[in-house]
């Protein structure tokens, strides 16, 4: 039996390695259109912050290692262009533009996602970039170096936009953030979003939210970003407005799609077509709080889904519980974290949401080095169930959010969560952990 995998990043290579370990006799073929596999995409903003450090430092394992040590038939420079479920084949263009057709017994689609690009005139100008893969990182570092850039406009205010704002400011580059809707982080509680906004301003990042982008004009090696009440000049424009799943090929093959046009899969990563699986940023998932299908592309899910798909291909039944949307990112001196539902998401899912926001100390009273930590919790008035959490602070938010994520996976009530035995020592937190303080306040509202 052979197992063909389309895509050689997180989900694809996790699946390939797992399948080969489970069944060394299985023929595993990975088709990757770029020259890069198994790299830390999440580390790219931090690498770009260092003008000297090579982007290839982010490569975790090179292609030849998979071939030589694990016996995986990894083919780079192979672009799959069509899937034919009736003939059980994939076809496309290989090295030097040569066409190929390969038959499969089992197939995994791990085609990932691509940056969403605003549809405005001039978006294809030289100097307008996005950041998703290593080639993007190489291009950005070369562009900043070649143009001796001192001013960048970032389109968007999400995770990548804010991480890149910090990276560029660390290099002394002026940064302006632009988005059409007002507000910094629409999914975040206003009290916490305001704290992030203050941190950006304190570090010289200029926000232009509520300004609709109209066009980008090339002016030699500089760019002019024009919009509603907006006229900015930049050496580079970074599009960071989100991602869209690479699911068009799957749809053309007749596979069902889910939220966000991602490939729909069951809990065992099986698509709507027998013997075809999908995993990673191209596929949907089930939310652990609502049980509904969602599209939340994150790294841990991609790797875990790759494992589960491989187990099922090898005859070892595996399912993944789902996702809570747990995410954390750094904005200068702040840790910003979330898990579960926002108030609006909870209401849309049919809950009766109640929320609370508290601000407390990250360490025990009078312990040196303490900072503020802001906690926002969401619960359901009817059932008492914990639905979501958000945290912002100079320390302690990034790992504390995991306690809330575990509570969501366990379907805990706010009352039960408020009774958990969390750790205490003065250098790390007050006796009443900030999460417990927030849970007790939320209980009063419930």
Q: Is 402 strand, coil or helix?
A: helix
Phi, psi of 193 (to 5 degrees): -60, -35
pLDDT the model gives residue 397: 96
Could you tell me if residue 195 is inside a domain?
yes
Same domain, 247 and 219: no
Which string of DSSP letters, residue by residue, matches 332-400?
TTEEEEEEE--HHHHHHTT--EEEEEEEEESSSTT-TT--EEEEEEEEETTT-BEEEEEEEESSSHHHH
Opening angle at CA 257, ends 135 and 86, nearest 5 = 95
Residues 105 and 29 in one domain: yes
Q: What percent of the chain clears pLDDT 90, i.e. is strictly above it?
A: 96
Of 207, 239, 271, the residue that ends a domain is 239
228 lies in some domain: yes
Asked if 197 contacts 190 with a C-beta cutoff of 8 angstroms, the reply is no
17 and 161 share a domain?
no
In this structure, what DSSP letter does residue 43 have? G
Mean pLDDT of all residues in 81-91: 98
Q: How far apart are CA 282 and CA 261, in angstroms?
A: 9
**pLDDT at res. 110:** 98
Q: How far is it, in rounded angstroms, from Cα 395 to Cα 159?
A: 18
At residue 221, the pLDDT reads: 86
276 secondary structure, DSSP code: E
pLDDT at 79: 97
Same domain, 182 and 264: no
Q: Is 325 helix (H, G, I), strand (E, B) or coil?
A: coil
**pLDDT (tens digit per residue) in 288-326:** 999 999 999 999 999 999 999 999 999 999 999 999 999
> Is residue 46 included in any domain, yes or no?
no
Q: Which residues contact 196 (CB under 8 A, 6 or more apart)?
A: 162, 184, 185, 188, 331, 334, 336, 392
* Residue 319 domain-assigned (yes or no): no
Q: Are residues 121 and 230 in the same domain?
A: yes
- The tokens describing 231, both together, are 């006229």
Instruction: Please classify residue 285 by burial: count the beta carbons closer than 10 Å to its beta carbon, then call 0-12 exposed, 13-18 middle and 19+ buried.
Output: buried
User: 42 catalytic, yes or no?
Assistant: yes
pLDDT band at 92 (very low <50, low <70, confident <90, very high): very high
Convert the pLDDT of each residue in 317-376 to its tens digit.
Answer: 999 999 999 999 999 999 999 999 999 999 999 999 999 999 999 999 889 999 999 999
Quickly state the pLDDT bin for 443 (edges 50, 70, 90).
Answer: very high
The pLDDT value recorded for residue 107 is 98
Query: Mutual orientation of helices 434-445 and 397-409 as an angle, nearest 10°?
Result: 50
Catalytic residue among 22, 34, 40, 42: 42
Kindly tell me if the per-residue pLDDT of 49 is higher than 90.
yes
45 domain-assigned? no
- Is the same domain home to 270 and 340? no
pLDDT of residue 62: 87
pLDDT digits (tens, 9 = 90+) for 417-436: 999 999 999 999 999 999 99
* Segment 20-48 mean pLDDT: 95
Mean pLDDT for all residues in the chain = 96
Final residue belonging to a domain, choices 239, 259, 280: 239
Residues 89-112, mean pLDDT to the nearest whole number: 96
269 SS3 class: coil
pLDDT band at 220 (very low <50, low <70, confident <90, very high): confident
pTM here?
0.95
Residue 380 vs residues 345, 346, 406, 415, 416: alpha-carbon distances, Å? 12, 8, 17, 11, 13
Examine residue 436 and state whether it is found in any structural domain, yes or no.
yes
CA distance 313 to 311: 5
Q: Is residue 278 within 8 Å of 110, Cβ to Cβ? A: yes
What pLDDT shows up at residue 366?
Answer: 83
Q: What is the pLDDT of residue 98?
A: 94
Provide the CA 157 distance to its chain's centre, in angstroms.
14
Last residue of a domain, one of 220, 239, 258: 239
DSSP element (H, E) containing 84: strand 79-84
Residues 332 and 393 in one domain: yes
pLDDT at 219 over 90: no
**Residue 409 sits in the same domain as residue 340:** yes
**Region 17-26: what's the mean pLDDT?**
97
Q: CA torsion 40→115→37→39, rounded to 10°? A: -10
Q: Are residues 135 and 21 in the same domain?
A: no
With respect to residue 10, please indicate whether it lies within any of the assigned structural domains. yes
Packing angle, helices 10-22 and 63-70, rounded to 10: 10
CATH number for the domain spanning 254: value is 3.50.50.60
Exposed / middle / buried, residue 301 (Cβ in 10 Å: 0-12, 13-18, 19+)? buried
- Asked if 378 and 346 count as a contact pair (C-beta separation under 8 A), the reply is yes
Specify if 320 maps to a domain: no
Give the pLDDT mean for 54-70.
91
Beta-strand relationship, 230-234 and 99-103: unpaired
Is residue 105 located within the same domain as residue 121?
no
Range of the structural domain that residue 170 is part of:
117-239
Check whether residue 225 and residue 265 sit in a common domain. no
Total domains in the chain come to 3
Question: Residue 80 belongs to what H/E stretch?
Answer: strand 79-84
For residues 126 and 169, membership in a common domain is answered with yes
């Amino acid at each position: 039996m052979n197992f063909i995998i389309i895509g050689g990043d997180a989900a694809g290579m996790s699946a390939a390695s797992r399948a080969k370990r489970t069944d060394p006799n299985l023929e595993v073929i990975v088709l990757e259109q770029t020259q890069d596999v198994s790299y830390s995409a999440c580390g790219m903003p931090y690498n770009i912050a260092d003008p000297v450090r090579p982007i290839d430092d982010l490569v975790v394992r090179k292609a030849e290692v998979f071939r030589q040590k694990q016996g995986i038939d990894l083919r780079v420079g192979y672009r799959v262009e069509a899937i034919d479920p009736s003939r059980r084949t994939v076809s496309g263009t290989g090295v030097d533009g040569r066409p190929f057709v390969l038959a499969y017994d089992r197939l995994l689609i791990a085609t990932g996602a691509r940056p969403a690009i605003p549809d405005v005139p001039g978006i294809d100008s030289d100097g307008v970039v996005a950041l998703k893969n290593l080639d993007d990182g190489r291009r950005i570092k070369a562009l900043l170096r070649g143009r001796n850039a001192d001013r960048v406009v970032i389109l968007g205010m999400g995770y990548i936009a804010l991480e890149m704002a910090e990276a560029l400011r660390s290099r002394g580059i002026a940064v302006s953030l632009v988005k059409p809707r007002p507000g910094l982080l629409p999914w975040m509680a206003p009290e916490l979003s305001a704290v992030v906004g203050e941190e950006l301003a304190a570090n010289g990042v200029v926000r232009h939210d509520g300004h609709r982008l109209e066009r980008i004009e090339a002016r030699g090696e500089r760019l002019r970003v024009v919009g509603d009440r907006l006229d900015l000049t930049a050496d580079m424009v970074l599009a960071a407005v989100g991602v869209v799943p690479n699911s068009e090929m799957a749809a053309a093959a007749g596979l069902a799609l889910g939220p966000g046009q991602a490939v729909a899969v069951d809990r065992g990563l099986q698509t709507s077509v027998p013997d075809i699986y999908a995993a990673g940023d191209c596929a949907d998932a089930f939310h652990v709080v609502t049980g509904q299908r969602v599209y939340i592309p994150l790294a841990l899910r991609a790797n875990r889904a790759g494992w589960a798909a491989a187990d099922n291909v090898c005859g070892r039944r595996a399912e993944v519980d789902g996702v809570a949307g747990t995410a954390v990112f750094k904005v200068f001196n702040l840790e910003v974290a979330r898990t579960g539902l926002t108030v609006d998401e909870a209401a849309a899912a049919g809950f009766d949401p109640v929320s609370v926001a508290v601000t407390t100390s990250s360490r025990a009273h009078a312990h040196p080095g303490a900072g503020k930590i802001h906690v926002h919790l969401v619960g359901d008035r009817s059932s008492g169930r914990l639905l979501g959490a958000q945290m912002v602070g100079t320390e302690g938010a990034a790992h504390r959010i995991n306690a809330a994520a575990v509570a969501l996976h366990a379907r805990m009530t706010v009352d039960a969560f408020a009774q958990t035995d969390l750790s205490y020592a003065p250098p790390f937190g007050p006796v009443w952990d900030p999460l417990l303080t927030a849970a007790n306040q939320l209980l009063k509202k419930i």
